[in-house]
Amino acid sequence: PIFVYHFAVFLIVLALPLSVLTTIEQYSLSTGPIILIDVLCVLEIAVR
């Protein structure tokens, strides 16, 4: 289900260093894939 997918993405995001996430963010801004944006949204929530 979708929930399991989101949880897996959440764990992956927590495992990545911030430098990698920043690179992904810059990449996602230029290409705009939904999955990367989804990951970033989860990350923002996790950081705060």
Q: What is the pLDDT of residues 7-40, one digit of tens each?
A: 777 777 777 777 777 777 777 666 655 666 677 7
Q: Is 21 helix (H, G, I), strand (E, B) or coil?
A: helix
Q: What's the total number of domains in the chain?
A: 1
- Closest alpha carbon to 22 in 4, 5, 39: 39
| pLDDT bucket at 1, cuts 50 / 70 / 90 | low
| pLDDT bucket at 41, cuts 50 / 70 / 90 | confident
Q: Which domain holds residue 32?
A: 2-47
Residue 16 has what DSSP assignment?
S
Q: Which residues does 36 contact at the CB level (< 8 Å), separation at least 6?
A: 24, 25, 27, 28
Dist. CA 2–CA 5, nearest whole Å = 5
